[in-house]
Amino acid sequence: MIPHALLILVAAPFVAALILLAVPQRMRLVTRLVSLSAALISAGLSVWVAASWDMARGGFQFDERYPVVPSLGIEMHLAANGWSAALLVLTGLIIVGGVLASWTQERRDQEFYMLLLVLVAGVFGVFVCQDLFILFLFYEIAVLPMYILIGIWGSQGKVEPRGPFKFVYEFLDVGGREYAAMKLTLMLLVGSAAILVAILALYSEAGGTTFDMIALARHHFDPATQKLYFPMVWLGFGALAGVFPFHTWSPDGHAAAPTAVSMLHAGVLMKLGAFGVMRVGMVLMPEGAIAWAPIVGGVAVINIVYGAFGAMGQKDLKYIVAYSSVSHMGVVMLGAATLTVDGWNGAIFQMVAHGVMTGLFFALVGLIYGKTHTRWVPKMGGFGRIMPGIASFFTLASLSSLALPGTAGFIAELLVFIGAWQSGHPVWAVAGAAGAFITAVYVLRAVKRIFWGEGPSEEFAKLGDAKHVEWGALVLLGAAILVFGFWPAPILDLIDATSTRLVQALYPLVLAVNP
């Protein structure tokens, strides 16, 4: 038993960020090693938590409490249930991968790593924090560094003014990195505002004595209240999960962000949103969730199909991956909306699967961009010849994306579709499966365009494959996809233990509404 494991887990990146303040700017290797060791400490502890989480006992484990504002009932209550444990492992994988993937980041690297670590500390915090108030705090810590990360290290783009709102596009600098950073931050903050309202409402409805979610879950909120505040939590957190139509920050944000940031953002941060909807929305307000589930699921299906078509319509590689994230987060939300054990297992597992997969995708896109200085797919072709390793990993990520058995994506989507059918919405399952097919169409098309066929053209002919440290992230994430795909039990058992318990609590209510 490691004492204060969760606290160390959350604090390690934070402390590392503080240490970096004292490291001289020119000591680049030290900067990287400090960051990497913090990432490894957190990732190691995550794995330890997941491995020693007691399946038979279930519930919340590794309980730690640190009073913050006792008079208002705010305390830093850290504990992990099965979901948290699974998502901690994901976050650990992604941050290690992210640190490795940005090893060659030259410009203002120290600040970059600091913000990255602060961000990931926030993510870890959200996953293990059981106090609504502190959870919100961590949520903001995770979201806000994005603004700076994209604003400073982002890449520029340009969007041609067209369409019914042409004058708007002429007025705003749409596509620039400041634009992307601003859009992302504003949209997410509007969401945060809704969340805050809902959190305070729950707090005062429950008597205004505690923010502890475990205690709040025992309080039975008035159904009318639940129906009022559930959509706030859904859309508030949902904005981060890319719920249609509040997903538009995501393609621009991901496209503008530097590699590691895209990895973390699509890989982990978007999961915070979905996790929030499930953990705060559905668990605390079950009747609200039941009432809203048809809409949540319907919007999720729109996300899946719309995101997939959106991805098919793109020519910029990062946009393709970003839209595919929108589509895949739809699968997560669909699983959540089914309110069944299998659906929830699938939703959380999809978070893990998509996190790893999209992390790998963005790492690869970063590598390709770093070599070719273009993300424009029509300019590429025949890269399989010059970068076979990258091609292999890209294909692997694509296969997970289209839910091929043997990759983590398959298990997640299968579970979600089963959940959807069980919940009495066969249409969801059919539309979801159609989304998986459309995904197959666009990812394989991308693979074909980039790596197959004739080429590469002369300007790219001398480029090579990935080198030394760069392999680190690829191998780590690629292995995770395959391991989770062939043998999901270790992670899925954790998730299942928690989902089962939560759905059991939900089940009488579902029956009451929908016998």
Partner 1 sequence: MSLPIELALVALFTPAAMAVILALVPPLRRTGRPAAWLSVLAASISLGASVWLFADQLGHPSRDLLESVRWLPHAGAAMANVGLRIDGISAGMTLVVTLVAFCVQVFSLDYMRSEPAADLGRYFTYHSFFIFSMLLLVLAPNLLQLFFGWELVGLTSYLLIGFYFKKPSAAKAAVKAFWVTKLADTGLLLALVVLYTHTGGFEWTSHPGAEVATIITLLLFVAVMGKSAQFPLHVWLPDAMEGPTPVSALLHAATMVAAGVYLIVRTNPLFAQAEFTREVMVWIGSFTAVFAAVIACVQTDIKKVLAYSTCSQLGYMVAALGAGSVMGGYFHLTTHAFFKALLFLAAGSVIHAVHSNEMSDMGGLWKRMKLTTIVFVIGSVSLAGIPGLAGFFSKDLILEGMLESGHTVPWLMLLGAAFLTAFYMGRVLFTAFFGELSEKAKHAHEGGWEMQLPLVLLAIPALGAGYFASRFAGMWHLEYELHLNLEAGAASGLAILGFAVAYVMYGRGAPVATPAILRPIAKLAASGVLDRFYEGLYRVLGLKLAGAVGFFDRYVVDGLMNLSGYLALTAGQKLRRLQSGNVRDYVFVVAFAIFALSAFGILR
| 386 lies in the binding site for partner 1 (CB under 8 A) | no
Q: Is 261 in the site for partner 1 (CB under 8 A)?
A: no
| Under rule CB under 8 A, residue 67 binds partner 1 | no
By CB under 8 A, the residues from 88 to 147 that bind partner 1 are none
Q: How far is the CB of 296 from partner 1 (least distance, A)?
A: 19
Contacts with 184 (C-beta within 8 Å, 6 or more apart), sequence order:
146, 147, 150, 249, 250, 252, 253
Rg of the chain's alpha carbons, rounded to an integer? 22
Q: Which two tokens stand for residue 505?
A: 């609590």
Number of residues that bind partner 1 (CB under 8 A): 70
- Distance, in Å, from the CA atom of 348 to the CA atom of 135, rounded to the nearest integer, reads 19
> Which residues lie below 8 Å from residue 45, measured CB to CB, with a gap of 6+?
2, 5, 6, 8, 9, 12, 92
Coil, helix or strand for 62? strand
How far apart, in whole angstroms, are the C-alpha atoms of residue 147 and residue 375? 22
The nearest distance, CB 339 to partner 1, in angstroms, is 14
Among 422, 463, 469, 483, contact with partner 1 (rule: CB under 8 A): 422
Closest listed residue to residue 201, CA positions, set 184, 224, 173, 179: 224
* Pattern 301-330, partner 1, x by CB under 8 A: -----x--xxxxxx----------------
Spatial neighbors of 336 by CB under 8 A, at least 6 apart, are: 274, 277, 278, 282, 296, 300, 343, 344, 347
> Three-state SS across 342-369?
HHHHHHHHHHHHHHHHHHHHHHHHHHHH
* 378 binds partner 1 per the rule CB under 8 A: no
Which contacts qualify for 506-514: CB closer than 8 Å, 24 or more apart? Answer: 506/282, 506/286, 506/289, 506/290, 506/339, 509/286, 509/287, 509/290, 510/290, 510/339, 513/287, 513/290, 513/291, 514/290, 514/424
Q: Which is nearer to partner 1, 67 or 424 (CB)?
A: 424
Instruction: Give 102 or 439: the residue with its C-beta nearer to partner 1.
Output: 439
What phi and psi, each to the nearest 5 degrees, are found at residue 69?
-130, 85
| Closest approach of partner 1 to the CB of residue 43, in Å | 22
Write out the binding residues for partner 1, residues 231-250 only, by CB under 8 A: 244-245, 248
- Count the Cβ atoms, other than its own, within 10 Å of residue 312: 18
What minimum distance in Å lies between the beta carbon of 182 and partner 1? 8
d(CA 433, CA 105): 39
174 touches partner 1 by CB under 8 A: yes
Among 117, 304, 341, 364, binds partner 1 (CB under 8 A): 341
For partner 1, which is the closer residue by CB, 67 or 405?
405
For residues 17 to 56, the per-residue mask of contacts with partner 1, x marking binding by CB under 8 A and - elsewhere, is ----------------------------------------
83 binds partner 1 (CB under 8 A): no
Question: Of these, 364, 496, 498, 510, which contacts partner 1 (CB under 8 A)?
Answer: 496
- CB nearer to partner 1: give 178 or 205: 178
Whether residue 378 is preceded by a cis peptide bond, meaning omega within 30 degrees of 0, is no
Q: In angstroms, what is the minimal distance from the CB of 417 to partner 1?
A: 5
The single residue among 145, 236, 335, 488 that binds partner 1, judged by CB under 8 A, is: 488
CA distance 451 to 394: 9
Answer for which of 18, 159, 427, 512 binds partner 1 (CB under 8 A) is 159
Q: Does 59 bind partner 1 (CB under 8 A)?
A: no
Secondary structure class of 477 (helix, strand, coil):
helix
Question: CA–CA separation, 395 vs 400, rounded Å?
Answer: 9
Residue 231 · residue 179 · CB < 8 Å: no
Q: Report the Cα 48 to chain-centroid distance in Å.
A: 21
Which of these ranges, 104-112, 162-170, 207-215, 289-297, lies near partner 1 under the rule CB under 8 A?
A: 162-170
Rule CB under 8 A: say whether 354 interacts with partner 1.
no
Q: Per rule CB under 8 A, is residue 397 in the interface with partner 1?
A: no
* C-beta of 1 vs 56, nearer to partner 1: 56
Type of residue at 474: L
163 makes contact with partner 1 (CB under 8 A): yes
Which tokens sit at 92? 């650990």
Shortest spacing between CB 168 and partner 1, in angstroms: 4
Using CB under 8 A, pick the residue from 228, 404, 463, 469 that binds partner 1: 404
Q: Is 421 in the site for partner 1 (CB under 8 A)?
A: yes
Tell me which stretch binds partner 1 (CB under 8 A): 27-35, 40-48, 96-104, 447-455.
447-455
Q: Is 282 in the site for partner 1 (CB under 8 A)?
A: no
Which residues of this protein are in contact with partner 1, per CB under 8 A?
A: 159, 162-165, 167-169, 171-172, 174, 183, 186-187, 244-245, 248, 251-252, 306, 309-314, 341-342, 345, 382, 384-385, 399, 402, 404-406, 410-411, 414-415, 417-418, 420-422, 429-430, 433-434, 436-438, 440-442, 444-445, 448, 451-454, 488-489, 492-493, 496-497, 500
